[in-house]
Structure 1
Amino acid sequence: NKLGRIDIPIGVGYGSDPRKVHAILLELIKAHPLVLKNPEPAVAFTAFGASSLDFEVRAFLADITTLMRVQNDVRFAIVERFAEEGIEIPFPRTDLEVRGVVPVRFEREASDMISEKPAATDSRVESQEEVAGGTVLDNVDPLSSGAPAGKKTPPRSSN
């Protein structure tokens, strides 16, 4: 007896119509030629997840050795159909609130920043004076650990 069951969990965005999602999932699993008609495939709305409405597709196969093939076929069909229907498959999201910090407001969209032309190549910094106004960096040897030029730093203790 090679009879076996597949379970395919799937989450959709909270803005999705759960009845529509349920109907699409049921249609897709029933359409696969290797899924048994009896016992009938089922779709369950299983949970309100942290970032998704969670469903599970369940179906029986006459030959459990076809499990991975059927799961792959059904998952590809789900992704393609959800894309056509505008149903989002979300990724986990965490909102972090940091107390005591002034929030920063961005006035431009990221797409606006991406479309801007890159800065001209001749606008690079030519000297340390341009960076620090001719102060601290003038006396730092760039190959040392930050000590003023001509001075050696004492060796670090090994304790």
Structure 2
Amino acid sequence: MNNELTHFNEQERAKMVDVTDKKVNYRMATAQATVKMTKETLQRIKAGQVKKGDVLAVAQVAGIMAAKKTSELIPMCHLLLLSGVDILFTDNEVDTLTIQATVKVNGQTGVEMEALTACQITALTVYDMCKAMDKGMVITDCHLVEKIGGKSGHYTKQ
């Protein structure tokens, strides 16, 4: 692993990493997060019985929008022309909703931050839409699951 710090300039101040000379290649990242809630909240989400509307549809759109706006939220992220963003939901049929975001690009830098941001905003949207009935929801375990492309190659969380 290269220990050279690329996010600092000659004055040791933060800078955006220069990717000008990097080759454009396929990059993909998948991240995951969970939202723990009451059994009733999960049942109402799945049954479409939340007063604010279709929680999963709204959260999915919010996650996609967040991935596209990551460079506006995280100062050193590059603006990327994403080629794909997908948000999937699974649950344990008891009290946990799992969110998985996959982001793809043909670019000079990776999309890990976009996938992680998509997960977080998707989870926050679920919280926002359900907080009136379950203020105790907990967003947890947001992490990178897999990434493909770039100098560091293929990564899969063990």
Fold match, TM over 0.5? no
TM bucket (normalised to shorter chain) is 0.3 to 0.5
Higher fraction of strand: 2
- With structure 2 as the length reference, what TM-score do the two structures score? 0.40
Q: Which has the larger radius of gyration?
A: 1
Higher fraction of helix: 1
